[in-house]
Amino acid sequence: MQRLRIDQDIRSMSEFRTGIASFLKQVHDTKRPLIITQHGKSAAVLVDVGEYEAMQEKIELLSDIHTSMSQIENGEGINHATAKEMILKRIAK
């Protein structure tokens, strides 16, 4: 995801309502999120679908890594040789 550009990527709810199509195009073209404000405070974030899916995949991967690290710290992991053997057996089937 591209970095937010404060001067271009923060819009009020009233601006958003009057220019929804152009803001959707902006988000799609720039791959930057759009912050929508209401009464001067942030209210929502509009994100391109592809960028949202990429974020979800990264979150899932980080969650899996965190789970794995916790399992290893608790002595629940298996060594590399055993893991490799298990995978090779699965592939051979």
Range of the domain at 55: 1-76
Instruction: Classify each residue of 26-61 as buried b or exposed e, where b means 16 or more C-beta atoms within 10 Å of its C-beta.
Output: bbeeeebbbbbbeeeeeeeebbbeebeeeeeeeeee
Instruction: Answer yes or no: is 34 within a domain.
Output: yes
Task: Return the CATH number at 48.
Answer: 3.40.1620.10
Instruction: Answer yes or no: is 9 within a domain.
Output: yes
Instruction: Answer yes or no: is 25 within a domain.
Output: yes
Q: Looking at the 3D structure of the chain, how many domains does it have?
A: 1
Would you state the pLDDT for residue 79?
A: 86
Instruction: Answer yes or no: is 50 within a domain.
Output: yes
Do residues 41 and 18 lie in contact, with contact meaning Cβ atoms separated by under 8 Å? no
Query: Does the pLDDT value for residue 6 go beyond 80?
Result: no
Would you state the pLDDT for residue 27?
A: 96
Instruction: Answer yes or no: is 33 within a domain.
Output: yes
pLDDT bin (cut points 50, 70, 90) of residue 35 is very high
pLDDT bin (cut points 50, 70, 90) of residue 2 is confident
Tens of pLDDT, residues 62-88: 999 999 999 989 989 888 899 999 999
Tens of pLDDT, residues 37-63: 999 999 999 999 999 999 999 999 999
Query: Does the pLDDT value for residue 93 go beyond 80?
Result: no
Instruction: Answer yes or no: is 86 within a domain.
Output: no
Instruction: Answer yes or no: is 29 within a domain.
Output: yes
